[in-house]
């Protein structure tokens, strides 16, 4: 047989060429072994091994919930594991209708997908394309620039204010006829700052109606000033999308379920761009069950908020100044010292997320993980 001549496939050139594939943090793969249950985070693992050794690093770099899945969810996962030979419902109808009923939306206004990252991609694919622009605050969720580029559009990052908040006036200044969407995030990842309601309404009143505002509410349940059942924004503003997830407060990050509420004009289009069968049977059931566990959720949120307050005040007592946070993480605006803090944390046996030059994001974790953060803070400040 004669050798075939091999040529390179030809790819379309796009905004995507500037990016590499999404990668959360250095430690994401390693966490598999060390994270996941409270036991491995805080007790047995630490007793057996010395802090600082690779297998014992506790991971506070991914904004995961530090609590194990709810018992009702674990039961449902056991049952659905026996049905993995079957496809899930491609429309995730039960989840969609349950979400709509639970939060007071119409099913038509509800979109579900594989994580809110997946739903964001679905939205961007129908809202923006080549030649268009999408605005977002920066630093922000790392996936924004990549997902915007997947749509073909150009991402326009707008720096946060010095207090870690959205520069709403700066975002409005950058709106032009090519702008299709603006992504807002409240509470914001990575700073934990919320957008005050009055400021948000003022922004939406000034935003031209051809621009869709995607309000990323991934961490909203941790924000005591938010009511997830209040969907007034989509009633008042047909160009607003509320983007949410089961990954954070509900603790289902590994199952990949996200959702959005929007006007039916937007939602009907976003439903078309979902990857078929991407919400799995296990994910759908676990999400539906989770919605019914209101008192468990409230208890968990209270725990996270209490631990967040403790972490902030303990860091403050050492002389560091974390920003006020409405999410399940805190932000230390350490500027050029951020990498040095992250290195001290690793030495103390805990991984945090450094945004080089800006700050350090520390997820709320177990008491043992916080103890190590405080050791790191002492080490960091001793230089």
Binding site for ligand PLP (CB under 6 A): 63, 115-117, 141, 185, 189, 216, 218, 245, 247, 253, 258
Spatial contact of 188 and 206, defined as CB atoms under 8 Å apart: no
| Closer residue to ligand PLP, CB minimum distance, 285 or 371 | 285
- The C-alpha R_g of the chain, in whole angstroms, comes to 21
| Closer residue to ligand PLP, CB minimum distance, 69 or 117 | 117
Q: What is the Cα–Cα distance from 242 to 185, expressed in whole angstroms? A: 10
CB of 138 to ligand PLP, least distance (A): 12
Phi, psi of 307 (to 5 degrees): -65, -35
| Closer residue to ligand PLP, CB minimum distance, 237 or 250 | 250
| Closer residue to ligand PLP, CB minimum distance, 25 or 293 | 25
Residue 28's Cβ-count burial label (10 Å; 0-12, 13-18, 19+) is: middle
CB of 225 to ligand PLP, least distance (A): 17
| Closer residue to ligand PLP, CB minimum distance, 46 or 151 | 151
User: In which residue are the tokens 């922000």 written?
Assistant: 140
- Count of residues making up the chain: 383
CB of 63 to ligand PLP, least distance (A): 5
CB of 258 to ligand PLP, least distance (A): 4
- Residues 132-156: b if buried by 16+ CB within 10 A, e if exposed: bbbbbbbbbbbbbbbbbbbbbbbbb
Q: What is the Cα–Cα distance from 113 to 280, expressed in whole angstroms? A: 10
3-state helix, strand, coil in the chain (%, to 5): 45, 15, 40
56, two tokens: 């014992």
User: To 5 degrees, how large is the angle CA 283–CA 286–CA 289?
Assistant: 150
Residue 187's Cβ-count burial label (10 Å; 0-12, 13-18, 19+) is: buried
| Closer residue to ligand PLP, CB minimum distance, 144 or 237 | 144
Q: What is the Cα–Cα distance from 158 to 315, expressed in whole angstroms? A: 29
- Residues 207-232: b if buried by 16+ CB within 10 A, e if exposed: beeebbbbbbbbbbbbbeebeeeebe
DSSP output for 119-145:
HHHHHHHHH--TT-EEEEEES--THHH
For residue 363, give Cα distances in angstroms to 21, 191, 225: 24, 11, 20
| Closer residue to ligand PLP, CB minimum distance, 136 or 372 | 136
CB of 376 to ligand PLP, least distance (A): 22
CB of 115 to ligand PLP, least distance (A): 3
| Closer residue to ligand PLP, CB minimum distance, 252 or 344 | 252
CB of 67 to ligand PLP, least distance (A): 16
Q: For CA atoms 357, 363, 365, 367, give the dihedral sign.
A: positive
| Closer residue to ligand PLP, CB minimum distance, 251 or 333 | 251
CB of 379 to ligand PLP, least distance (A): 27
Query: Shortest Cβ contact with ligand PLP: which residue?
Result: 115
CB of 185 to ligand PLP, least distance (A): 5
| Closer residue to ligand PLP, CB minimum distance, 46 or 363 | 363
């Amino acid at each position: 047989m004669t050798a075939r001549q091999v040529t390179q496939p030809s790819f379309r050139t796009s905004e995507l060429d500037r990016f590499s594939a999404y990668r959360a943090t250095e430690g994401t793969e390693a966490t598999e072994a060390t994270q996941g249950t409270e036991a491995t985070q805080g007790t047995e693992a630490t007793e057996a091994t010395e802090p600082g050794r690779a297998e014992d690093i506790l991971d506070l770099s991914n904004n995961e919930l530090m609590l194990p899945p709810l018992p009702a969810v674990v039961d449902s996962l056991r049952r659905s594991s026996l049905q993995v030979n079957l496809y899930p419902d491609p429309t995730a109808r039960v989840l969609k209708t349950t979400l709509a009923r639970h939060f007071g939306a119409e099913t038509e206004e509800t979109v579900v997908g594989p994580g809110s990252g997946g739903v964001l991609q679905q939205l961007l694919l129908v809202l923006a394309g080549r030649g268009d622009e999408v605005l977002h605050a920066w630093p922000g969720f790392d996936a924004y620039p990549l997902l915007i580029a997947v749509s073909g559009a150009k991402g326009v990052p707008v720096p946060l204010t010095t207090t870690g908040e959205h520069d709403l006036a700066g975002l409005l200044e950058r709106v032009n006829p090519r702008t299709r969407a603006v992504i807002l995030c409240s509470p914001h990842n990575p700073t934990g700052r919320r957008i005050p309601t009055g400021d948000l309404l003022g922004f939406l009143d000034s935003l031209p109606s051809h621009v869709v505002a995607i309000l990323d509410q991934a961490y909203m349940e941790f924000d005591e000033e938010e009511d997830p059942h209040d969907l007034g924004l989509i009633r008042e503003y047909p160009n607003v999308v509320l983007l949410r997830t089961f990954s954070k407060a509900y603790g289902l990050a590994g199952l990949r379920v996200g959702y959005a509420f929007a006007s039916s004009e937007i939602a009907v289009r976003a439903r078309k761009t979902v990857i078929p069968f991407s919400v799995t049977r296990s994910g759908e059931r676990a999400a539906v069950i989770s919605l019914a566990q209101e008192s468990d959720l409230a208890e968990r949120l209270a725990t996270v908020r209490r631990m967040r307050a403790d972490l902030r005040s303990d860091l403050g007592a050492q002389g560091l100044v974390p920003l006020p946070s409405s999410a399940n993480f805190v932000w230390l605006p350490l500027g050029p010292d951020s990498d040095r803090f992250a290195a001290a944390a690793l030495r103390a046996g805990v991984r945090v997320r450094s945004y080089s030059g800006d700050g350090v994001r520390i997820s709320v974790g177990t008491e043992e993980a916080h103890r190590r953060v405080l050791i790191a803070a002492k080490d960091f400040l001793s230089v």
